Amino acid sequence: MDFRAFDIEGPLELLPKRIEDDRGYFAEIFRLAPFAERVGAVQFVQENQSLSLCEGTIRGLHFQLYPQAQGKLVRCTAGSVFDVAVDLRHDSPTYGDWISVVLTAESLNQLWIPVGFAHGYCTLEPQSVINYRVTDYYSPGHDRGVAWDDPDIGINWPGIVDRNTLSPKDRVQPAFRELAPIFSSRAE
């Protein structure tokens, strides 16, 4: 497995290697030791899956507050998604910056999004499914977000975005400027 880092410290793309033959392929999707060497000790406690029926569906930008803050390991198991992480660490030199990765079922790649980042995605195909492991349990009382289309963040979303797919929650998320300092780049 290979790892790709970004200009923003923290997120990583995991790129598994395929062994192919006339029957299909085999790929090691996750191995704890090399992952932990790069991100530190993590324990996944919950696994989630989400199906989006339509191309252009937007979900996010979401995060959870301490003490229920979550790191996420995101994978697309059907279709493809434009996956985004936004740095919310107020003392980070990349505060408010974002990275994106196209996750596809075919490529088997994954995106690690550590605590301190908001996460969201846009489906690039109908019937896209993402699966993600998280480091803490979902907690409605700690669930927060920021507007997916906030101009101060300036995410360059794909041209297929369908605003009609936004959930009621995602239609009213606050602006980036309205967020109080939440996360630090120093380990909590």
Alpha helices in the chain (DSSP H): 32-39, 168-171
* Per-residue model confidence (pLDDT) at position 188: 56
The confidence score (pLDDT) of residue 180 equals 92
Residue 47: its H or E element: strand 46-52
SS3 91: coil
* 80-87 sheet: strands from edge to edge: 98-104, 80-87, 117-123, 58-64, 143-145
The pLDDT of residue 186: 77
This prediction's pTM: 0.95
The residues that are catalytic are 62, 132
Say if CB 49 and CB 129 are below 8 A apart.
yes
Domain boundaries, the chain: 43-178
The domain over range 43-178 is classified in CATH as 2.40.50.140: no
Binned average pLDDT, 10 residues per bin, the chain of 188 residues: 96 96 95 95 97 97 97 98 98 97 97 98 98 98 97 96 95 96 81
